Amino acid sequence: MSTDELRHNWDISEVQALFDQPFNDLLFQAQSIHRAHFDANSIQISTLLSIKTGRCSEDCGYCSQSAHHNTDLEVEALLPLDEVVKAAKKAKAEGADRFCMGAAWSRPNKRDFPQVLAMIKAIKSLDMESCVTLGMLDKEQVAQLKEAGLDYYNHNLDTSPEFYGNVISTRTFQDRLDTLNHVQQAGINVCSGGILGMGEERKDRCSLLVQLANMKQHPDSVPINMLVQVEGTPLFGADEIEPLEFIRTVAVARIMMPCSVVRLSAGREEMSDEMQAMCFFAGANSVFYGERLLTTEGASAQADQKLFANLGISTSLEKKSGHAEKASVSRTELSA
Ligand code: SAM
Ligand code: DTB
Ligand code: SF4
């Protein structure tokens, strides 16, 4: 399948029908599609760093970093360049091929933006892929990111347009689509996905996947986060998603966006090895690796190494033909 043959016209009832299949049929279909496009036994690994932490003006109900919530968070101004470079070198030595930097901004400001451009250039000079998530962007900022050599921009739709208002009131779903459009038009790879376990229903998960898959181009990476419940946020105490429903959602994402890299993102530290193994079988082929996500703990590196070895998974992602991801993925092995 070339990228021209990918579908962008899904409707909710078709997606609902994918979810409604018997579990084994759904997983078999997802695994077959996965194998047609990727080596089934390899995953890509990215490492995260929070480059500016807390005091964000947005009110995202899941987020530890919103100034609207009372969380026990250590606020930090934009990190100096040398600290970022040090963290990226460490991540590279540990086997990550992409370094993702997140900032608690609604949108980047004029004062700090040049410093972020310098960080992107520094990551490139380490021969790593760069990814940033900085909130909403205008066309001018996108052009500057492209010029600096940015590989990926992460901006999540988070949830369905219908459920969105239950989670965030300070920016709209359309604001997110606009930023993604600017990024895609500039030729920067898009990383966009969502969060499960915020109290949404299956129809919302279907609708989120329709929004992602019906974009002009499928996102190159699709992070699927399981809510990390943070005390003091409005979503602390939300009904947790059933593990089988989470796995189903990964499988449906794989079927709808066959050439995209689907990332098993936040929440892995709460998942059993068996659940993660089922997610890889369902078509997830990337993880955030490293003991810290942005402000919360990630899965332990030692546990990950053991799990990947146990499953016979290598960390050098092989793609077959016609993939949405344009940047090359380097071959790396986790250091012991
Ligand atoms: N401020 C920027 C923005 O929101 O676009 C970038 C950073 S923000 C922390 C990046 C993404 O992390 C969010 O869109 C959300 O999908 C995810 N995220 C944040 N907190 C989370 C949590 N507690 N559990 C799961 N995912 C979370
Ligand atoms: C994404 O989809 N998940 C990452 C990344 N993109 C930036 C963030 C997860 C954050 C989890 C909660 C925290 O550590 O603050
Ligand atoms: Fe701010 Fe991003 Fe957190 Fe929303 S998710 S409160 S925009 S840091």
**Host domain of residue 172:** 7-325
Do 279 and 262 touch, CB atoms closer than 8 A?
no
Q: Tell me: pLDDT of 321 over 70.
A: no
Answer yes or no: is the C-beta of 128 below 6 A from any ligand 1 atom: no
Task: Confirm whether 191 is domain-assigned.
Answer: yes
CATH number at residue 145: 3.20.20.70
Closest ligand by atom to 262 CA: 2
Can you tell me the distance from the alpha carbon of 183 to that of 178, in angstroms, rounded to the nearest whole number? 9
Count of domains in the chain? Answer: 1
CB atoms within 10 A of CB 144: 18
16 or 300: whose pLDDT is higher?
Answer: 16
Residue 47 tokens, joined:
């490492």
> Which of 49, 53, 60 is the pocket-test mutation for ligand 3 (most atoms within 8 Å of CB)?
60
Q: Tell me: pLDDT of 41 over 60.
A: yes
Which residue's structure tokens are 């190494």? 305
Give the closest residue (by CA) to ligand 3 atom 6. Answer: 66
Answer yes or no: is the C-beta of 266 below 6 A from any ligand 2 atom: yes
279 counts as catalytic: no
25 alpha carbon to ligand 1 midpoint, in Å?
32
Q: Tell me: pLDDT of 330 over 70.
A: no
Beta bridge partners of 261: 221
CA distances (Å), origin 308, targets 19, 34, 108, 280, 335: 27, 18, 37, 10, 12
Task: Confirm whether 331 is domain-assigned.
Answer: no
Q: What is the distance in angstroms between the CA of the first residue and the CA of the last residue of the chain?
A: 37
Q: Tell me: pLDDT of 186 over 50.
A: yes
Task: Confirm whether 200 is domain-assigned.
Answer: yes
Q: For the ranges 120-134, 205-219, 262-276, 305-319, which has the lowest average pLDDT?
A: 305-319
Q: Beta strand pairing status for 286-288 and 44-52? A: parallel
Task: Confirm whether 335 is domain-assigned.
Answer: no
HEC profile of the chain = CCHHHCCCCCCHHHHHHHHHCCHHHHHHHHHHHHHHHECCCECEEEEEEEEEECCECCCCCCCCCECCCCCCCCCECCCCHHHHHHHHHHHHHCCCCEEEEEECCCCCCCCCHHHHHHHHHHHHHCCCEEEEECCCCCHHHHHHHHHHCCCEEECCCECCCCCHHHCCCCCCHHHHHHHHHHHHHCCCEEECCEEECCCCCHHHHHHHHHHHHCCCCCCCEEEEEECCCCCCCCCCCCCCCCHHHHHHHHHHHHHHCCCCEEEECCCHHHCCHHHHHHHHHHCCCEEECCCECCCCECCCHHHHHHHHHHHCCECCCCECCCCCCCCCCCCCCCCC
C-alpha dihedral, 215 to 221 to 226 to 229, nearest 10°? -100
pLDDT digits (tens, 9 = 90+) for 284-301: 999 998 888 999 998 888
Q: For the ranges 161-175, 232-246, 260-274, 305-319, which has the lowest average pLDDT?
A: 305-319
Which atom from ligand 3 is nearest to the alpha carbon of 133? 2
Answer yes or no: is the C-beta of 198 below 6 A from any ligand 1 atom: no
Task: Confirm whether 334 is domain-assigned.
Answer: no
Backbone torsions φ then ψ of 132, nearest 5 degrees = -130, 155
Task: Confirm whether 333 is domain-assigned.
Answer: no
Task: Confirm whether 336 is domain-assigned.
Answer: no
Closest CA to 137 of 146, 129, 127: 146
Which atom from ligand 2 is nearest to the alpha carbon of 294? 14
> Which of 58, 62, 170 is the pocket-test mutation for ligand 1 (most atoms within 8 Å of CB)?
62
- 326 pLDDT band, cuts 50/70/90, is very low
Q: Tell me: pLDDT of 82 over 60.
A: yes
Residue 248 tokens, joined:
């189903």
What is the chain's length?
A: 336
Q: Tell me: pLDDT of 282 over 50.
A: yes
Residue 152 tokens, joined:
């990926």
CA distances (Å), origin 168, targets 69, 172, 254, 285, 321: 12, 8, 27, 29, 38
Task: Confirm whether 330 is domain-assigned.
Answer: no
Give the closest residue (by CA) to ligand 3 atom 4. Answer: 60
